[in-house]
Chains A and B, each alone.
With several copies, the nearest count.
Chain A
Amino acid sequence: MCYTQFLDADGTASGELPDFARDAQELRAMYRLMVTTRLLDRRAVSLQRTGQLGTYASGLGQEAIGTAAGFALRDEDILIPAYRDYAAQFKRGVPLQNVLLYWAGDERGMAYEREPARHDFPLSVPIATQVPHAIGVAYAIRLRRQPRVVLACCGDGATSKGDFYEAISCAKVWDLPIVFLVSNNQWAISMPVARQTGAQTLAQKAIAGGMPGEQVDGNDVLATRHVLARAIARARDGGGPSLVEALTYRLHDHTTADDARRYRAEDEVQAAWARCPIKRYKAWLEAQGHWDAAAEGALAAEAAAEVEAAARAYLGQPADPPEAIFDSLYAELPRALRWQREQVRARGPLGDGH
């Protein structure tokens, strides 16, 4: 099974770096995205801890994968995210506050307005069920002879589910332009990957579908972007689907409703921090002369301001009126349901009698 890594845990590079690694501006943009994503993540957790947000699924430690995916995709491509691929969503134009809105329990968090996110899928909470949607999306692309690719994301736990398999098994039948991205963060809530599957790698599940599968160090943003970009390019060129297993680690509890100390050892988590994707990338950027303390200071201020603005925007956005629960159900509310909407509307804002 092929495994790609350019940057080791200390940020020391080996192997021949891909072309994009020569574009300092782009490299810095990637770094910015990772840092901003982490900051937003922290903010979300603290909002939750202070009762200002619902249950939140943190992406802590997985920022490189989303960033790599975001930068590997073209605008015309379509992202089908799982629920920790925030960085990819941000890169594609999902405002930071949408993530907060969503986990606050507001459907408008998924009403992405900006391109290209506007034609992406919203995150999916049911595990793996979103993956076979890629088959239909990619089929539509093919039918229309469009040079587009679908990136279908899921976690390691998701690879146990029939939906995941039915998709990878079908993708190769029609050689559809899909890249399946499995973020193997080693845990599915309390289930470690070794008890999730008897397979030595998740990448080898591709073999069941007859397509290529490979592993990449998902904490190495350069390697992950490179491997994804290559798979995406192959798919775009008619080379068919493939599967990328990105190895990473879930540094946070499963969600804010979880307490991972119940089932995993603290030293495993500590060891994983040593492989932090941001730390190693920063070290490499600095070594390349692309980054320094001044840049870091400026970014810290910028990102903090951006995250703060997002939090404020979220906190300041009042809930929709109650009758909104009917307004996007069908293209037009059927006659038979109008009295229900009216009943809700007549009761007035939530809190007043509801």
Chain B
Amino acid sequence: MPDLTLIEAVNLAMHSEMARDGDVVVLGEDIGRNGGVFRATVGLLDKFGPERVIDTPLAETLVAAMAIGLSTQGLRPVAEIQFSGFLYPCVDQVVNHAARYRNRTRGRMSCPLVIRAPNGGGIHAPEHHSESLETTFAHMPGLRVVAPSTPARAYGLLLAAIRDPDPVVFLEPTRCYRLFKQPVEDDGEALPLDACFVDREGGDLTLVSWGAMMHDTRQAADRLAEEGIAAEVIDVATLKPLDMDTILASVAKTGRCVIVQEAARAGGWASEISANLAEHGLLSLFAPVMRVSGYDTVMPLARLERAYLPDVERILAEVRKVFEIAPKS
């Protein structure tokens, strides 16, 4: 099993699925000859040719709309949006059409498409390249939203997203593209799209996160372990539909929960998870559910982005509050 970075795993998944299924096509800006600005599509043009690896004009609304058109014809388009901030011009097409064709035609049409994009900051990228958009899409009925945190999950979940019969917004953690490697087997096995991953079991506290923040969350769990606190770590990689069962079961066990997201705090997906706990898990909670999040300010440019991003220290600070209110007995 080769050790791959997350971006290599994404690339591998597309290679694998395009070879397996002739209906899969990829499209986007600079994804052909150039191999994608993050190199996610390297090698696809040479292997599968310009008909299935489509360099589009510079127009994100068009890219989304074209993916819709392709998908209605039974193809399996995987569209890349270059940087997260340029997902916004897709919102109308995704919400008003991709997420609705099946429902509004009572099943006659469907849109089995994937829109891939980098998500989040932390790599000192230029303006509008570091935003976190998961909740913008996850609030929308008819979509699936996926945010892998490791190379292996990126591979398995991207396969699942491509094979899924409905539209999937697939948000890749920009900061983790090359942060670490992991053995990834090219076995063509998809991962389930409706279940959280329990990364580590523990009885004292539930740490919940997804995407790039999983990295900090795991480190925080390591630190807590040193202090004798056993954190259960949950990766909500399939954000929508949301598997609350796994989270509720964990919190029923631990009684304490801290949720970590990079996106702006107000109206983020951490709030959705917390609200579900307040509704269905309240009686098992020993302490308030804390959210560690980006702040409610515009994503700062590179020089101050670290002031915005949650990190291990901020996670630990909230965890400490929880144990202050509800000490380990």
- The listed residue (B32, B297, B303) touching A319 by CB distance below 8 A is B303
- CB contacts (< 8 Å) of A195 on chain B: these are 55, 57
Q: Which of B104-112, B199-207, B209-217, B225-233 binds A? A: B104-112
In the complex, whether B93 has a CB less than 8 A from a CB of chain A is yes
Q: Is the CB of A354 within 8 A of B29?
A: no
- CB contacts (< 8 Å) of A160 on chain B: these are 57-59, 62
Q: Is the CB of A126 within 8 A of B61?
A: no
Q: Mark out the residues of chain A between 114 and 157 whose CB falls within 8 Å of any chain B CB in the assembled complex.
A: 118, 121-122, 125-130, 132-143, 157
Number of residues of chain B lying within 8 A (CB) of chain A: 78
- The listed residue (A138, A170, A354) touching B59 by CB distance below 8 A is A170
- CB contacts (< 8 Å) of A326 on chain B: these are 295, 297
Flag B14-50 by CB within 8 Å of A: 1 or 0 each.
Answer: 0000000000010001101111010000000000000
- CB contacts (< 8 Å) of A52 on chain B: these are none
Q: Is the CB of A161 within 8 A of B33?
A: no
Q: Mark out the residues of chain B between 273 and 329 whose CB falls within 8 Å of any chain A CB in the assembled complex.
A: 295-298, 300-308, 311, 313
Q: Mark out the residues of chain A between 322 and 343 whose CB falls within 8 Å of any chain B CB in the assembled complex.
A: 322-331, 334-337, 340
In the complex, whether B253 has a CB less than 8 A from a CB of chain A is no
Chain A nearest CB: distance from B180 CB in Å?
21
- The listed residue (A158, A173, A190, A331) touching B102 by CB distance below 8 A is A331
**Given A55-B125, A140-B73, A160-B58, A126 and B302 touching (CB < 8 A)?**
no
In the complex, whether A4 has a CB less than 8 A from a CB of chain B is no
Taken together as a complex, chains A and B put the C-alpha atoms of A189 and B34 apart, in Å, by 9
In the complex, whether A104 has a CB less than 8 A from a CB of chain B is yes
Flag A295-322 by CB within 8 Å of B: 1 or 0 each.
Answer: 0000000000000000000000001101
Give the one of A126, A137, A163, A331 with max B CB within 10 A: A126
- CB contacts (< 8 Å) of A336 on chain B: these are 194, 241-244
Q: Is the CB of A167 within 8 A of B308?
A: no
Q: Which of B4-12, B64-72, B151-159, B254-262 binds A? A: B64-72
Taken together as a complex, chains A and B put the C-alpha atoms of A335 and B97 apart, in Å, by 23
Taken together as a complex, chains A and B put the C-alpha atoms of A200 and B207 apart, in Å, by 57
Q: Is the CB of B65 within 8 A of A136?
A: yes
Flag B150-168 by CB within 8 Å of A: 1 or 0 each.
Answer: 0000000000000001100
Taken together as a complex, chains A and B put the C-alpha atoms of A138 and B54 apart, in Å, by 14
In the complex, whether A262 has a CB less than 8 A from a CB of chain B is yes
In the complex, whether B92 has a CB less than 8 A from a CB of chain A is yes
In the complex, whether A344 has a CB less than 8 A from a CB of chain B is yes
Query: B264's closest neighbor in chain A, by CB?
Result: A340
In the complex, whether B181 has a CB less than 8 A from a CB of chain A is no
**Given A133-B97, A135-B65, A190 and B30 touching (CB < 8 A)?**
yes
**Given A263-B34, A324-B304, A340-B295, A329 and B57 touching (CB < 8 A)?**
no
- CB contacts (< 8 Å) of A121 on chain B: these are 72, 109
Taken together as a complex, chains A and B put the C-alpha atoms of A294 and B12 apart, in Å, by 59
Query: B34's closest neighbor in chain A, by CB?
Result: A190
In the complex, whether B135 has a CB less than 8 A from a CB of chain A is no
In the complex, whether B126 has a CB less than 8 A from a CB of chain A is yes
Taken together as a complex, chains A and B put the C-alpha atoms of A347 and B96 apart, in Å, by 28
Give the one of B61, B124, B296, B301 with max A CB within 10 A: B301
Q: Is the CB of A189 within 8 A of B52?
A: no
Q: Is the CB of B37 within 8 A of A325?
A: no
Query: B298's closest neighbor in chain A, by CB?
Result: A329
- The listed residue (B34, B65, B242) touching A163 by CB distance below 8 A is B65
In the complex, whether B141 has a CB less than 8 A from a CB of chain A is yes
Q: Is the CB of B304 within 8 A of A197?
A: no
- The listed residue (B66, B124, B125, B295) touching A139 by CB distance below 8 A is B66
- The listed residue (A102, A103, A188, A320) touching B304 by CB distance below 8 A is A320
**Given A129-B96, A136-B72, A189-B37, A354 and B311 touching (CB < 8 A)?**
yes
Q: Mark out the residues of chain B between 84 and 136 whose CB falls within 8 Å of any chain A CB in the assembled complex.
A: 85-86, 89, 92-93, 96-97, 101-110, 124-129
- CB contacts (< 8 Å) of A320 on chain B: these are 303-304
In the complex, whether B142 has a CB less than 8 A from a CB of chain A is yes
Q: Is the CB of A169 within 8 A of B57?
A: yes
Q: Is the CB of A107 within 8 A of B65?
A: no
Query: B86's closest neighbor in chain A, by CB?
Result: A126
**Given A170-B59, A189-B29, A340-B295, A132 and B69 touching (CB < 8 A)?**
yes
Flag A186-198 by CB within 8 Å of B: 1 or 0 each.
Answer: 0011110001110
In the complex, whether A17 has a CB less than 8 A from a CB of chain B is no
- CB contacts (< 8 Å) of A142 on chain B: these are 51
In the complex, whether B271 has a CB less than 8 A from a CB of chain A is no
Chain A nearest CB: distance from B165 CB in Å?
4
Q: Is the CB of B302 within 8 A of A263?
A: no
- The listed residue (B70, B71, B307) touching A350 by CB distance below 8 A is B307
Taken together as a complex, chains A and B put the C-alpha atoms of A121 and B54 apart, in Å, by 24
16 A–B pairs (Cβ distance < 8 Å), ordered by A? A110-B105, A125-B129, A129-B92, A130-B97, A133-B66, A136-B67, A143-B25, A161-B61, A188-B58, A189-B29, A190-B34, A320-B304, A325-B304, A344-B307, A354-B311, A354-B313
Additional pairs, 7, CB under 8 Å, beyond known A143-B25, A344-B307: A105-B126, A105-B303, A106-B301, A106-B303, A107-B103, A322-B306, A330-B165
- Give the interface of A toward B (CB within 8 A): 54-55, 102-108, 110-113, 118, 121-122, 125-130, 132-143, 157-158, 160-163, 166-167, 169-170, 173, 188-191, 195-197, 255, 257-258, 262-263, 319-320, 322-331, 334-337, 340, 344, 347, 350, 353-354
